[in-house]
Chains A and B, each alone.
Chain A
Amino acid sequence: MNDARQEKLTSRLRLRDPGAFEQLIEEFQTPIFNLLYRMIGNREEAQDLLQEVFITVFKKVDDFRGESSLSTWIYRIATNHCINRKKYLTRRCHYARDAYDDSESAAMGSAADRFHDRIPGPDELAEGHQMERLIQEAMAALDEEHRVVVILRDVQNLSYEEIEEILQVAAGTVKSRLHRARMALKEKLAPALR
């Protein structure tokens, strides 16, 4: 979504136009859900957080001053929600790092298939699920500040400038965190990649 469209959408959101809210959700639900899912590692928590993110956007849209783009602002809200939810889950001892269980893997598999243009063979599918699971586990083992950077950059394909704005850290910090995150993932995935 380009800047002009984002500005127009923001104006309509401020007027409480129900169509604008629907458009916003349609536009951002997939990238934001994926960020939340990769950060939290649990589909149900990610679904719940997704709703909370949009509710926060709607509640705070009057405070949005347009200093960053609307999408950057929404990503920032999402990452803050993730951090708070993880703290909450850790406090409540409900969170386990290996929450990504087989049922999650199966759910992800069926979802993944819908995104494929071709139908993968059984071996390929099994291998893909295994790698997906390994990556998710390796990401879960990263520090939060490293995980979020690698997700935003390598999974969500955002630019360094966007990541700086979302996380409100300097360019050098983003790059050094990304480097450490990628190196840590490489170490963890090395046996599977040989």
Chain B
Amino acid sequence: MEHQEACELFTAYADGELTDVDQAGLEAHLRSCDACREEWEAYRRTMEEVSGLLAVPPPPDTVRLVEKKIARRSRGRFFAETRSTGMSFAMVSFILVLFFILAYLLLTAVNEIQVMEVEPSDEQAGTRDENVPSR
């Protein structure tokens, strides 16, 4: 096994993903090659140091900061599902009242138009009657 070939196997070896044959081959090479053994030792220690990095604690008030930001950006609407129930009821009531007012106005207007349309036709009918020669 060549030096480069051995190094290429380090990651799979560290993760236990080599086949039995490859693992046996690499281990035999590491026993006989000082340079590769040193490389492997450095690789192993590097992994050990990196995985040994300690967790850094996040800022203690993340929840509050995030909620504050969300509330500001959504203008308080984001977490308002339960609080908005009253609001939405008021909105629905307002929309319904508005709908009935508009419907009433519309119907009234339609009636007036119908009345206005009926009156001239009577006049026209009267005019026609006048034009009929009297016997």
Contact = CB atoms under 8 A, between A and B. Distances in A.
Contact of B45 (A17, A25, A193): A193
A182 B46 contact: yes
A26 B58 CA distance: 10
Contact of B62 (A18, A29, A111): A29
Interface in B1-43: 7-8, 10-12, 14, 39, 42-43
A116 B73 CA distance: 39
Interface string B53-80: 1111111001101110110010000111
A124 interface: no
Nearest to A192: B49
A17 B69 CA distance: 17
B76 to A, nearest CB: 12
Interface string A171-188: 000010011001101100
B134 interface: no
Nearest to A22: B63
Contacts of A29: 58, 62
B43 A182 contact: yes
Nearest to B44: A186
Contacts of A30: 55, 57-58
B105 interface: no
Chain B interface: which size bin?
20 to 34
B83 to A, nearest CB: 10
A51 B65 contact: yes
A193 to B, nearest CB: 5
Given A33-B58, A111-B57, A154 B51 contact: yes
A108 to B, nearest CB: 6
A179 B66 contact: no
A115 B55 contact: yes
B98 interface: no
B10 to A, nearest CB: 7
Contacts of B43: 182-183, 186
A193 B73 CA distance: 49
Given A30-B58, A55-B69, A55-B73, A185 B46 contact: yes
A18 B45 CA distance: 45
Given A30-B58, A193-B46, A183 B7 contact: yes
Contacts of A47: 58-59, 62
The 6 closest A-B pairs by CB, nearest first: A33-B58, A179-B11, A112-B54, A16-B81, A186-B46, A29-B58
Interface of A: 15-18, 21-22, 25-26, 29-30, 32-34, 37-38, 43, 47, 50-51, 54-55, 58, 108, 111-112, 114-116, 131-132, 135, 139, 150, 154-155, 157, 175, 178-179, 182-183, 185-186, 189-190, 193
Given A55-B73, A154-B47, A186-B43, 11 more contacts: A16-B79, A21-B63, A26-B63, A29-B62, A33-B57, A51-B62, A51-B65, A51-B69, A111-B54, A111-B57, A185-B46
